[in-house]
Structure formats: C-alpha cells, structure tokens
C-alpha cells in the first residue's frame, strides 16, 4: 500500500503561544483500562494528564501514537502535549513527572518538537512484541507480564505462518467485531517468531510484528491463532487460506493481553522505505 493512500489528515499548525513536548512512555498495562481515557476506569493518558496539571497547573491533552487495550503493556509508547508553560525545559519533564507518577508508568525521555511532529499522524511504523513462557518455567515475577502455555509448538511451523503475514493484506479474518476502520488492509514489514531467554535463563517464545498500523485486537488474534494452529499442525497453505477467506469465524483464539507489548514507534520515513518500492513492482 502506498503511503500516499494512508489518508492521514493534514497537520494543524502549532499555535504561536504553545510548545509541543514529545515523550516516550512505558507502562504496566494490567493496572489500567488501556491508553485512551475511559468514562468508567483509569487510563494511562488520563493519569499523565493529571500529573502534568499538578506539575505546571495547565490542563493538557496527551496524544498517543495509538491506543493500547486494557491489559496491554508498553515499552515505547510515544505521545505529545501542547503547553503554554515556558519555564520548564523539555528534558526536565521526564524526571519531574516520574516523581509524581505511579511506579507502573515511567516517562523514558522528553524533548521539544515543532508542529511537524504529531505522535499519531506522523508515525511511520509500530512494533509489537508478544511473550510466552511454559507453565513449568513461570516465576513469581511473570504474573500479568508474560502469557503461559503448557508446551511450545513447532517454531518452524509458527514462522511459516508469520512469513505469510508480511506484505499488504486485508486482515478481516483477524479483526475483532468492534473495529470501526473503513479499510482492513495493513502493511506488515516484519513478522517472525524467535526463541529467547529471560533474565533468569528460562526459555521465552517471542513474536515480533511491525507494520504501518493495526486493527482492533488484530495482533492478539494473530498470535492466539498461530499458536492454536501450530499445536493442531495446521499447514502454512491452510493458514494462507484462512487469511484470504476474510472470515472471522475461521480465526483461532485471541491471545491474552498480558503477553503483549507496544515495543517501539518509528517516525523515520527511511526505515521501511524499501517496502514502498516493493509495492510498486
């Protein structure tokens, strides 16, 4: 899909009396209803807005690169806020807010940007990672942070599925019913499974996916489906047929939120520019 077809809105100019502050945020998603502000539960963005108000006595709107659902974690969520305050240096927001925020939300860095940056609308790629451990290897430190499974399925079979996801596809099969996006097509730049180890040396089955954007619960549906199908020895050809069917009923189970992390956001137009060239061939 050409980037010109992403249909993003034009950026509004930054008001002359405002500064734009960019921040990278990590958070423990199990403790919140998601990133986006909710009417009946605490959300990560809402907590940050409250602490900014406490810090500089301004009501602000914190705009994230995208939403994460309830229970989903983030290592590299990116957001911005427009403020009138001129006294606080941009780099001071990270340490100052971390003194006010709960320990399960951390500002990793803060910097000043101009109006050409928008946390959501200038995003070039989003990377998610999912983590599984076997039940026998779970430690007291893994609860709500790693998904568990009795046994790992065949890694080669998992990667045969993952490879098929690369490219531009209609992901209707793996989209939850609550999604309201008019188009289900998404560009996937990276998709692979790997066996890694945690800090204690225990095996960790990881899935990495990077694309221009994702549909509602799409990543969790893909992960859960691939794990279920691999356990059942579903062939790669069958998986390709399920993807192409655009039939939600043919998807497998949806993986739990606790193993999913918003891992990294890219704003570099050159990083995946090769994909644009492939799409033109």
Dist CA 108 CA 164 (whole Å): 34
C-alpha distance across the termini of the chain, in Å: 12
**CA separation for the pair 87, 214 (Å, rounded):** 38
> Which one of 5, 59, 69, 114 is the catalytic residue?
69
- The answer to whether the beta carbons of residues 47 and 101 sit under 8 Å apart is yes
Q: SS in 3 state form for 33-96?
A: CECCCCCCCCCHHHHHHHHHHHHHCCCCCCEECCCCECCCEEEEEEEEEEECCCCCCHHHHHHH
**Is 69 an annotated catalytic residue?**
yes
Asked if 85 and 58 touch (Cβ cutoff 8 Å), the reply is yes
The response to whether 272 counts as a known ligand-binding position is no
**Residue numbers annotated as active site:** 69
Q: Which parts are annotated binding residues?
A: 128
Q: Which parts are annotated binding residues for substrate?
A: 128
């Amino acid at each position: 899909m050409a980037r010109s077809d992403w249909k993003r809105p034009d950026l509004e100019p930054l008001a002359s009396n405002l500064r734009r502050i960019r921040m990278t945020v990590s958070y423990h998603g199990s403790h919140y209803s998601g990133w986006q502000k909710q009417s009946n539960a605490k959300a990560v963005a809402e907590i940050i807005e409250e602490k900014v108000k406490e810090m500089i006595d301004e009501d602000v709107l914190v705009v994230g690169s995208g939403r994460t659902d309830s229970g989903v974690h983030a290592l590299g969520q990116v957001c911005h806020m427009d403020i009138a305050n001129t006294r606080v240096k941009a780099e001071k927001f990270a340490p100052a807010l971390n003194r006010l925020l709960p320990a399960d939300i951390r500002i990793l860095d803060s910097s000043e940007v101009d109006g050409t940056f928008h946390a959501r609308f200038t995003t070039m790629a989003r990377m998610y990672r999912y983590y599984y451990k076997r039940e026998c290897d779970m430690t007291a430190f893994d609860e709500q942070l790693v998904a568990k499974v009795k046994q790992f399925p065949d890694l080669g079979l998992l990667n045969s599925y993952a490879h098929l996801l690369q490219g531009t596809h209609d992901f209707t099969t793996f989209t939850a019913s609550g999604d309201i996006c008019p188009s289900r097509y998404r560009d996937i730049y990276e998709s692979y499974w790997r066996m890694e180890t945690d800090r204690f040396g225990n095996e960790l089955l990881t899935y990495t996916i990077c694309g221009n954007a994702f549909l509602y619960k799409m990543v969790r549906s893909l992960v859960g489906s691939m794990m279920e199908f691999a356990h059942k020895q579903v062939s790669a050809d069958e998986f390709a047929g399920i993807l192409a069917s655009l039939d939600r009923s043919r998807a497998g189970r949806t993986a739990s939120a606790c193993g999913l992390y918003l891992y990294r956001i890219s704003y570099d137009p050159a990083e995946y520019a090769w994909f644009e060239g492939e799409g033109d061939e």
